[in-house]
Amino acid sequence: MKYDYLIVGAGSAGCVLANRLSENSNNQVAIFEAGGSSDIWKVKMPLALLYTMHDPKYNWKYYSEPEPYLNNRRIFCPRGKMIGGCSSHNGMVFVRGNKDDYTRWENFGLKNWSYEKILPYFKKIETWSEGESQYRGSFGPLPVNQSKNSNPLFKAFLDAAKQAGHKINLDMNGEEQEGFGMFDTTMHQGERAGVAKYYLNPAKNRKNLKIFQNSFVEKILFEGKKAIGLQVKIKNKVENIYANKEVILSGGSINSPQLLMISGIGDAEHLKDKGIEVVNNLKGVGQNLQDHLETYIQQECKTPNTLYTYTKLIPKVLAGIQWFMFKSGPCSKSFLEAGGFAKSSPERKIANIQFHFFPSFVINHGLVDPDAHGYQLHASPNHPKSRGYIKLNSSDPYDYPKILFNYLQEEEDLKQTRECIHVARKILSQPALAEHAGKEVGPGSNATNDDELNEYIRSKADTAYHPCGTCKMGVDEMAVVDENLNVKGINNLRVVDASVMPEIPSANLNAPTLMIAEKAADSILN
């Protein structure tokens, strides 16, 4: 079989590419997804995201190696394994990042990735509920809606943020990011608004687009330094499928570097150690791994406005019925819809913390129900200095890679995380929350000095599920792709996903990933 473009991975970036590249009927496009359909109620129901996060049918369910600065804990790293990828199981918060993020990308030598150059692509993605403006789009495929969640805890939290000296921001994706408010979300009419539904589904009946589900890409095929196709296992049969124009990797920050290395592109010494023939020595493949590390500041709640209510059988059943019949009620919300961006200390030039307010306790990534009413403020430094890596365990493409984030390796990251806790405590102690606020559960009111906070962070901090950077674009010797996302030293091969981010943005990663894919599609076609 031959196609013009072969896309590996039908996640956020892959679905965008499949749609845009197949708009021209002359382009023959194939997309390969290791998982299956995401057209199930567990994906469509916003509050059901944990069901697929923990189901190996829909999730890769990776774990890191023991993290040396987090008391040697292995950190859960869920990645979507279905059509739509992580957009089919994420928290549906839609944040672009700070303008300054992309100025830094530009200063890395990536002149085409300045905020001014990428803003049109952010606008191209969305139809925003509040209407078009200089910063917002109104004709894009994806419905992006400012949350209207009426849970009284959200209003109390935002009032508390204001009382603590923070401003209210009605559009954190607009002119300025700093401030608190209701987040934009990818929820629409009571359902998840993922890329599978809004990018891939409108294109799936095009005669020039072929979607392969449950198809595992084992390696990239080369002729010298030119990518010519893929070795793919489809329905237990291994086939070679060839590309007339390009092979495009959109497997995400774990899978894309793994596939490059399995195929012979990466650090030569590492590949030789695994018995892999070297196609191109690129030392940066799998390096530069970044993530946002969240710390939960948890507080008991004296009012019954939390999700603890819906851990009980009858309220849970009634909420489910309401959603299935009317697409309304608590199951039609993600409850990660209030938060904001703030400076951890006055000397910071820009907001360096992101907060998510959640009206429940989260225990072990939602596997354990809370045993009481409570709420928590997720706090994470936006620009961690620590860097990790992805490495191969073996030359077997089915063998999970080694993942090490090295969270808190840099002392500055630990310092900023402590500052996060101080800012969070100030907000949570304001009068606006007084009628709801019980005692602080985590870190606990007795944890006040640096050593006590450090221990809480090392024992409890966890991933925000934002891995990126492992095939970074740039001009330095550790860059894997150039500014057009072409793999260095290889013809007809690109990487288009969150792995190309040189530095993690101040954002949940779905919106920046979609922007990257829209911009890449433009580059490929023009």
Crossing angle between the packed helical segments 115-125 and 99-107, to the nearest 10 degrees: 130
Report the length, in residues, of the chain.
526
Closest CA to 8 of 509, 516, 508, 493: 493
Residue 118 φ/ψ, nearest 5 degrees: -95, -20
Structure tokens at 438: 């019980």
Radius of gyration of the chain from its Cα atoms, rounded to whole angstroms? 22
Interatomic CA distance for residues 413 and 380, integer angstroms:
10
Crossing angle between the packed helical segments 115-125 and 510-525, to the nearest 10 degrees: 100
Residue 450 CB partners (closer than 8 Å, separation 6+): 418
Interatomic CA distance for residues 244 and 95, integer angstroms:
36
Residue 302 CB partners (closer than 8 Å, separation 6+): 373, 435, 436, 437, 438
CB 88 within 8 A of CB 192: yes
CB 98 within 8 A of CB 505: yes
Q: State how beta strands 338-342 and 353-358 pair.
A: antiparallel
Interatomic CA distance for residues 137 and 121, integer angstroms:
9
Q: What's the DSSP call for residue 477?
A: T
Residue 152 CB partners (closer than 8 Å, separation 6+): 303, 305
Q: State how beta strands 388-391 and 287-289 pair.
A: antiparallel
> Is 466 known to be catalytic?
yes
Crossing angle between the packed helical segments 411-428 and 450-460, to the nearest 10 degrees: 100
Task: Please report, in angstroms and rounded to a whole number, the separation of the first and last CA atoms in the chain.
Answer: 26
Interatomic CA distance for residues 366 and 49, integer angstroms:
10
CA 398 from centroid of its chain's CA atoms: 23
Q: Which of 292, 356, 436, 466 is catalytic?
A: 466
Interatomic CA distance for residues 330 and 250, integer angstroms:
33
- Residue tagged 């944040």 (tokens): 95
Residue 452 CB partners (closer than 8 Å, separation 6+): 443, 446
Residue 317 CB partners (closer than 8 Å, separation 6+): none
Residue 467 CB partners (closer than 8 Å, separation 6+): 77, 79, 252, 253, 254, 289, 290, 291, 405, 498
Closest CA to 219 of 493, 524, 516: 493
Closest CA to 511 of 97, 172, 188: 97
Q: What's the DSSP call for residue 66?
A: P
Q: Catalogue the active-site residues.
A: 466
